[in-house]
Structure 1
Amino acid sequence: MHLTEVAAPIEQRVLLIIHDPLVGAQRSQSLHSALGWNDPDELANQYCADVATASHGLVQYRIVERVLVDAFPAKLDGFNYTAQHYLDCWHSRSGFHQPDAVDYMRLIQRFNILQRVHAGAIDEVWLMAFPYAGYYESIMGGPDAFWCNAPPLTNTGAAGRRFVIMGFNYERGPGEMLENLGHRTESIMAHVFAQAPTAHNLWERFTRHERTHPGRAECGNVHFAPNSERDYEWGSRRPVQCSADSWLNFPQLGGAARAMNCIDWGGGDIRAHHLWWLQRLPHTTGSSAQVSHNWWDYIMRPELVTV
């Protein structure tokens, strides 16, 4: 039973930039169509819906601008794929350019991202492209930006507040998009509780699983379900005593543990597990020890995190 009072909704304004170049002799097909990959707009819409579900309706994404780019983004060393070179690399699964990293500052400057964040026109950016585009799954910019599953972007203080750039791959699906969000969550919440004494570190408690705390599993983390014995093992039927459902009633965490296994979080499906995990993040009103009981505040508004 879900007993907590859900906090006020968060409207999150997004700049969506899709790199989906035209390919082929006649340049008649987009890259995603030519290779049979997912439609990037459908993925974006599904992600919006999934995050709303995961946050109990709290996070309402709104794509305020969509930019479709008929080009391959430049790498940090200035390299650009041509369509044929990229297709040759993909079909042979070899020859991809190294270093792979994209030139974030070139993208930031081209799309006036710092100015838009500062003006309040956008809150975050989604970059959507192909495998080997060179994106991090998430990266943070702005004043006093910190690790967000990637080193912070420097020289971005003009944004006036912290913001996150997500990197999505339309060769993959909605589950992998939620995984990116999960790692963003892990980075930000670890920072929120970085100075908390162990006895009061609710993030450490939330992420307990059987391998780290035998007999006292709670929600685990993105890679480790409560009963996982190795990375990405979301499909184990091994039962463990687990208190994960208590988090649905946060801050009341006194619920009894029960035997749980993968049937509780989707039977091994990546998307189902990540939705299950994200739904258990605290999302209610109030605060304790100067930390909001609504962790989505920090995940969506990293400027609220004390550094």
Structure 2
Amino acid sequence: MKNPSRPSTWLIGSGIFLILVLLIPGACKPGSENRDHLADLRITVTDPDGKRVAGATVEFYLSPEEREQGNNIVMSGETNPDGLLSVYAQEKGHYFLNIYQGNLRKEAEIQLRSKWLKDASFSIQLENGNAGTKVVKVAVVYENPIIPSTGKRFHQYFLTPGYHFLWNDPVELCRRYEAALEKASDYTIDFQIVSEHHADRFFTFLKNDPQKRLFSLEEIISLLQEKDWKTFKTVGTSYDYRSMVRHYQFDLALNRGEIDEVWVWSFPYSGMYESHMMGENAFWINSPPDDTFPSDKLLSVMGLNYERNLACALESFSHRFESTMMQVYGWWNYEQKPELSDLTTWELFSAYGLRYERYEKGAAQVGNVHYPPNGQYDYDFGNETYIESYVDEWLNYPYLQGKKKRKINRTEWGNPDGSWQLGWMTYYLGHLPHYRGINPRDGKFNDWWYYVVDYQGAMLAESAAR
């Protein structure tokens, strides 16, 4: 049973079919008896503002069921630079169209009722196929206190041993992080910072301390002033998530529906994981879960280091994304899957060249957080080698035909702020599906961001849609 509150995978837009009925007198046109096809169909495709759309894919099916499954395409093509597609119709009757380009999509039905036609023209206006915007309420903690003897905050005073750069202002970095994530989701996610807390106590302790005694401000300052950060590097640190959550009463705010997740901007060696999940039935999001924390609502906590830049913060979120999708689809297991058809949708998306070559030499899909399509090793974001990639097909998800590939290299994602890593992180996140509906091939939402920001809600909605 389909979820009435969310359209199915192939039912895009408002869920209302555009019915295009062509009524032509039945008399034959002079010379029509020599034609080898019924009609010349001319399809003009426009965007919601009425502008013509070039490069839109138009697929023709003989039944709505085949269209929903993406099976048995009888005709297909792409609109030209003028937004026009011309095709030959071989027989009269109904054609069920699926038209899409990126987030612009539409289903339409045309009916050819005459025996012979000279030509038939239709204009179809696409709709925004993005998933509806989801508001995510965020509580933010800045562990960036003022050093009493200087009047400066940590980021204004400390330097990383062996380097000469000042750390980032976490408040400003948080704003950039929020904006970058929202843009990558094509604004289907609206992170709303509902509370901000400038830390007056800390939750870091030494790994070898059986008492797990939390550091005071004075102790943290002393350790950050230590030569080469010897204690941090040799002993290591951990973080008391439960004490932090209870100190700020985030558990109560979560249960009252006032917040959905927490972002903590902390100093180097604070002991935080990049991301961490707490609550009953919590699972791995790039760290061991705290599944005994007494809460029936899941709480995700991002641990973000303001010594590092925006690229690293986006990488932390991207690893959380990877872990969540592995919870949805299962872990990558290419070695045990000899055929391309054996792959899950998530495995297909993540298949960079070194993984995908077992299915098609010299080609790739998108890749993963550490490996772009042409990557040869971890963090190979600046690789100049070209590879043929199906990356564009993922902007049309779930309409994956396995036909569109082109050569790309690092120039595809670029190096904003001089960082190939930042370029890849924004590009990677921007290709993760964020569309309406459910994929009939695997029963999962076309909006993968839904699972990441509200896993429990997504799973309940997915179950209701079956």
Q: Could you say which TM-score interval applies, normalised by the shorter chain?
A: over 0.9
- SS in structure 2 at match of 1:94: helix
Equivalent residue for 1:144?
A: 281
Q: Deviations over 1:165-209 (max 9, x none)?
A: 000001011111100010000000011012999636100000001
Alpha-carbon distance in structure 1 between the residues aligned to 2:443 and 2:135: 23
Q: What are the equivalent positions in structure 2 for 1:195-274 lying under 5 Å apart?
A: 199=342, 201-214=344-357, 215-254=362-401, 255-267=403-415, 269-274=420-425
Give the conservation status (yes or no) of the 8 Å contact 2:283–2:291: no
Give the conservation status (yes or no) of the 8 Å contact 2:383–2:409: yes
The AA in structure 2 aligned to 1:226 is P
The reply to whether residue 2 of structure 1 matches residue 102 of structure 2 is yes
**Counterpart pick for 1:32 among 155, 174, 197:** 155
The reply to whether residue 293 of structure 1 matches residue 461 of structure 2 is no
Q: What are the equivalent positions in structure 2 for 1:48-67 lying under 5 Å apart?
A: 48-67=178-197
The AA in structure 2 aligned to 1:48 is E
The reply to whether residue 283 of structure 1 matches residue 431 of structure 2 is no
The AA in structure 2 aligned to 1:96 is F
Give me the CA root mean square deviation.
2.1
Give the conservation status (yes or no) of the 8 Å contact 1:22–1:70: no
Give the conservation status (yes or no) of the 8 Å contact 1:208–1:216: no
Number of aligned residue pairs? 304
- SS in structure 2 at match of 1:290: coil
Q: Deviations over 1:258-294 (max 9, x none)?
A: 1111110115621111110111111111102321010
Give the conservation status (yes or no) of the 8 Å contact 1:144–1:157: no
Q: Percent identity?
A: 29
Alpha-carbon distance in structure 1 between the residues aligned to 2:299 and 2:328: 16
- SS in structure 1 at match of 2:239: coil
- CA gap 1:272/1:200 in 2 versus in 1, 3 angstroms: same
**Counterpart pick for 1:302 among 443, 447, 455:** 455
Alpha-carbon distance in structure 2 between the residues aligned to 1:64 and 1:209: 38
TM-score with structure 2 setting the length: 0.62
Q: Deviations over 1:22-58 (max 9, x none)?
A: 225x241111111221111101100110011100011
Greater relative CO (CA pairs within 8 A, separation 6+): 1
- CA gap 1:72/1:187 in 2 versus in 1, 3 angstroms: same
Alpha-carbon distance in structure 1 between the residues aligned to 2:423 and 2:103: 22
Alpha-carbon distance in structure 2 between the residues aligned to 1:231 and 1:200: 22
Alpha-carbon distance in structure 2 between the residues aligned to 1:85 and 1:15: 29
Alpha-carbon distance in structure 2 between the residues aligned to 1:287 and 1:71: 45
Larger Rg belongs to: 2
Alpha-carbon distance in structure 2 between the residues aligned to 1:68 and 1:195: 38
Equivalent residue for 1:191?
A: 327
Q: Deviations over 1:117-140 (max 9, x none)?
A: 111110000011110011100011
Q: Deviations over 1:93-138 (max 9, x none)?
A: 3221734111111112111122211111100000111100111000
The structural deviation recorded for 1:161 is 1.8
Q: Deviations over 1:214-243 (max 9, x none)?
A: 233111000000001000010001111110
- CA gap 1:88/1:140 in 2 versus in 1, 3 angstroms: same
Relative to structure 2, which stretch is displaced further, 58-67 or 113-122?
113-122
